[in-house]
Amino acid sequence: MGVQSIVATTSPTTLILTQRWIAPFANFIKCNCDASLSLDLCRSGIGFICRDHKGMPLIVVSDLISFSDVMVGEAHAIRMALLEMIKTGFAQVMVESDNINLITHIQDGGAIADSSDPDFIYFSSFFESCSFTYIPWEINNAADSLARRALSLTCTTG
């Protein structure tokens, strides 16, 4: 399932095209991931939300983590989402991100140059089905909001 476009007309000459998030098929989990980097605040964070076929949130994460490159942050968001879905025991997953470069790289079977970055192909082997899809930023707004929220979190030590 991809992006759904809704067409609305406001007058005979005006056409508005709206895109919205689409729930996954039954028995699938869809996880939207994002990262946020504020050089002004010297903060970075990730967010992701995993939902079922009814759109109900099953996992929601907003986490303050350190990175200085947004591509690395996006990779960390996807890695953490995959690990949470593995831990939860989901079998069929769909991962969506608004970072087209990272999604293309994953689809091409590559890992990010930094050796500490995850091997997405390895992680995907834990699932019966796992896909990685690019979606526009406007549709990834829930994950984007979670990533931006992480910037306001404070670190705690346990």
- Note the pTM of the prediction, 2 decimals: 0.82
> pLDDT tens digits, residue range 84-143?
999 999 999 999 999 999 999 888 876 555 545 557 888 999 999 999 999 999 999 999
pLDDT at 119: 79
H, E, C per residue of the chain: CCCEEEEEEEECCEEEEEEECCCCCCCCEEEEEEEEEECCCCEEEEEEEEECCCCCEEEEEEEECCCCCHHHHHHHHHHHHHHHHHHHCCCEEEEEECCHHHHHHHHCCCCCCCCCCCCHHHHHCCCCEEEEEECCHHHHHHHHHHHHHHCCCCCCCC
Q: What's the pLDDT tens digit per position in 107-118?
A: 887 655 554 555
- Structural domains in the chain, sorted by start: 23-150 (3.30.420.10)
